[in-house]
């Protein structure tokens, strides 16, 4: 039996996925979490075979969970779940060691096969997504000049950047950080300038290349 942790802040989504996986002969949701902090606590105390992490969750995102687990022994293979086909999120997931990236509109058969694949040591990156991500990394050098010498991002800018990587909008980032949307826009402008990019996706890809994510 493959034991899965399902982390998603939407109760109906968790219930739906859990009910579907209960129809398979070999996969069961062994634990549930409504945010990233709960997921980390469960991983520390529960024997699991696969982690299913929603990218966008309160307290800690799916990417934050992967970051916190980096370097720790016996971390279960992880699949990221998201509503959006976002190259930046996929790139960040690859960088942080996720084994798969799936949209939430997939069917039970696809989800079950993905879980079985990563549980057995495989990966499930959509080739098209991976190709676009790699092309994005190649294009970074031809964007705008990076400040020389490079100016390090502040702790708050790194925090904003990681929330960008999770797919959160400026308004959502402002709500999560308890600040004004205009302040987040200012942070974003500073991030773009320091990294020498013009948009969010390239900012995240550049941050991955530089090791910020």
Residues 6+ apart with CB under 8 A from 179: none
Assess whether the previous peptide bond of 149 is cis (omega < 30° from 0): yes
Residues 205 and 140 sit within 8 Å (Cβ to Cβ): yes
**Would you report the helix, strand and coil content of the chain in percent, each value rounded to 5?**
55, 15, 35
Give the pTM.
Answer: 0.66
Among the candidates 79, 100, 128, a domain finishes at 128
- Region of poorest pLDDT, from 7-21, 44-58, 69-83: 69-83
Same domain for 104 and 156, yes or no, is no
Counting the structural domains of the chain, the total is 2
Report yes or no on 134 lying in a domain.
Answer: no
- At 11-47, the pLDDT tens digits run 998 999 999 999 999 999 999 999 999 999 999 999 9
Give the angle 130-134-138 at the CA atoms, nearest 5°. 165
Same domain for 56 and 120, yes or no, is yes
Residues 6+ apart with CB under 8 A from 128: none
- At 86-137, the pLDDT tens digits run 667 777 787 788 888 888 888 888 889 889 988 988 777 655 555 566 565 5
For residue 190, the enclosing domain spans 143-210
| pLDDT recorded at residue 149 | 44
Same domain for 119 and 180, yes or no, is no
Among the candidates 128, 163, 181, a domain finishes at 128
Q: What is the CATH number of the domain that holds 182?
A: 1.10.10.10
Report yes or no on 136 lying in a domain.
Answer: no
Residue 196 has pLDDT above 50, yes or no: yes
| pLDDT recorded at residue 141 | 52
């Amino acid at each position: 039996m493959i034991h899965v942790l399902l982390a998603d802040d939407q109760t109906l989504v968790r219930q739906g996925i859990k009910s579907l996986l209960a129809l398979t002969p070999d996969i069961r949701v062994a634990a549930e979490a409504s945010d990233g902090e709960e997921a980390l606590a469960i991983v520390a105390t529960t024997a699991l075979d696969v982690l299913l992490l929603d990218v966008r969750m309160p307290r800690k995102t799916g990417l934050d969970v992967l970051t916190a687990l980096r370097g720790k022994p016996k971390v279960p293979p992880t699949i990221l779940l998201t509503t959006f086909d976002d190259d930046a999120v996929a790139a960040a997931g690859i960088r942080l060691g996720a084994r798969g990236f799936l949209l939430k509109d997939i069917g039970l058969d696809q989800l079950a096969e993905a879980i079985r694949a990563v549980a057995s040591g495989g990966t499930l990156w959509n080739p098209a997504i991976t190709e676009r991500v790699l092309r994005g990394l190649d294009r970074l050098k031809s964007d705008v000049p990076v400040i020389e010498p490079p100016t390090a991002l502040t702790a708050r800018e790194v925090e904003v950047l990681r929330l960008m990587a999770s797919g959160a909008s400026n308004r959502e980032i402002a709500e999560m950080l308890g600040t004004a949307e205009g302040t987040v826009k200012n942070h974003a402008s500073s991030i773009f300038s320091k990294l020498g990019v013009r948009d969010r996706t390239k900012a995240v890809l550049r941050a991955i290349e530089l090791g910020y994510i």
